[in-house]
Each structure stands twice: as structure tokens, then as C-alpha cells.
Amino acid sequence: MTLDFSPTQLRAYFVCGSQDVGDRDLVAVVESALQAGITAFQFRDKGSSRLTGLERRQLGQRLHQLCAAYRVPFIVDDDVALALALHADGIHVGQSDQQIQQVLDQVRGKMFVGLSCSTPAEVEAANQLAGIAYLGSGPVFPTTSKSDADPVIGLRGLATLVSLSRRPVVAIGGIATTQLAAVVGTGARGSAVISLLAQSDNMVATVQKMLAVTIA
Ligand code: TZP
Ligand code: MG
């Protein structure tokens, strides 16, 4: 069974892969984030620590099962074949990933689609496409979690993209607890974070802060 998209799922959106957790077990990290109350999880496995083939699929399956137990959407970054094989709830793609129209055609009726947009032109193009559930916008602040990140857009850039978008926007990139309120103040529906949660020493407190600032 797949979960439908709802904008409230963007409130405390955790993005993570093996590369983000060092020596720790990714499944254990994700489980503690689920227990703490995250509202969405994106499996974004990149770089040299990335598993391949059957191992990658089994890890994805395990993470999907965990998310399903908490009724939290399991979203796969980039990999349409993996998302389809795992019956993921959603797929997230960037501007340089597989062409968005192709992705929409491949997954229509099966899962929801999120798209990264970091410029007004990208948001305006996304507005013309049917079937996109939400936009991910950033990096809002400098990030150390993505080596090929687009230029930083800042809170003003985020506010501009939010005002142009016909879809709910989740902010991403370098978001710390001190910026959560300002991020949501732009009209973004929540924050998507890697390091804030992957490196948190108190997952419950951090997720509570993410949930507390968000307009209901
Ligand atoms: N896309 C834009 S910035 C980013 C991604 C995946 C990395 C976000 O990680 P962090 O640690 O929350 O800055
Ligand atoms: Mg991508």
C-alpha cells in the first residue's frame, strides 16, 4: 500500500543515506528519526559508501517497511527503477536527474513526485507540469552535505520561489534549528534536512523543534 501525498508531510522531512551516518547503522538512525516523529523520509544514497544491486534494494525495502510502520512516506531520491521496485510512496528528482516529464510518465498513478527547483525559471517550468506534488528548494544556506549543490538562494530567494510556486515547497540546505522559524516564515511548508537530524544528539528534541515552528 502506498501513502498519498499531503503537504503536512513536508513539516519535518528527513533526507539520509549511508554517506550521512558515518559508522552508524542507517536503519537504526532512520528508526530513531521515525520514533521522534519525522513526517517524511527520503532515501538518498550517494557516493562511495552507496550499496549496489540486491544489497541496495534490500536496504531500501527495510527502510520502506520501517516508514510504513510509522505511516510516514518513503521517498526515493533519483532512482526511478528502485522507487518502482520498492513500491515507494514517492520519488524525488533534481533538475539534472532523469528528465522530469519522463519520470512523471513512468510513475503516474503509482507514487507522488517531488522536484528540486532553485531558480524562478525552474519553478515556472514546474508550474506547467501536471503531476508534481511538491517542490524542494535550496540550498537556502551553505551545505556540506551535497558536493554539487546549486548556489545558495538565501531566505529571500526561498520566499521568491515559494511565491511563484503553485505547489507546496519544502526548503533544503544548511537548515539549523535557529533558522527553522524564518524558513517557515517564507511560506515554505517545512524543512528538509540531512545533517540537522543525522548529526543530532537528541533526535526527539530536534524533530520537536521542526514540528513546533510549522504553521498547521
Ligand atoms: N539538496 C540541496 S542542499 C542538500 C540537498 C540534498 C543537502 C542538505 O543537507 P543539509 O545537511 O541539511 O545541509
Ligand atoms: Mg538528485
Q: Where does ligand 1 bind, in terms of residues with CB under 6 Å?
A: 15, 138-139, 143, 145-146, 149, 172-175, 193-196
ipTM of the complex: 0.95
Ligand-binding annotation for 46, yes or no, is yes
Residue 193: pLDDT over 80: yes
Lowest mean pLDDT among 51-60, 136-145, 170-179, 188-197: 51-60
Q: How confident is the model at residue 53 (pLDDT cuts 50, 70, 90)?
A: confident
Map out the domains of the chain as residue ranges. 7-212
Q: Would you give the DSSP letter of residue 37?
A: T
As a whole-number percent, the residues of the chain with pLDDT over 70 amount to 98
Using alpha carbons only, what angle is made at residue 23 by residues 205 and 151, rounded to the nearest 5 degrees? 70
Please give the distance, rounded to the nearest whole angstrom, from the Cα atom of residue 186 to the centre of ligand 2.
24
110 is in an annotated binding site: no
Res 84: pLDDT: 98
- Architecture of domain 7-212 in CATH? Alpha-Beta Barrel (3.20)
| Dihedral of the alpha carbons of 86, 100, 169, 136, in degrees to the nearest 10 | 70
Residues labelled as active-site residues? 44, 116, 146
* Residue 45 marked ligand-binding: yes
Please give the DSSP secondary-structure letter assigned to residue 148.
T
- Which atom of ligand 1 has the smallest separation from the CA of 198? 11
Q: 130: CA distance to ligand 1 center in Å?
A: 26
pLDDT of residue 47: 73
Helix, strand or coil for residue 140?
coil
Residue 101, amino acid: Q
CA 4 – CA 33 distance, rounded (Å): 21
Residue 194 scores a pLDDT above 60 = yes
C-alpha cell at 181: 522559524
* Ligand 2 geometric centre to CA of 17 (Å): 12
CB atoms within 10 A of CB 101: 10
Alpha carbons 156 and 3: distance in angstroms, whole number: 33
H helices present in the chain, as ranges: 26-36, 53-69, 80-85, 100-107, 120-127, 154-164, 180-185, 195-198, 203-212
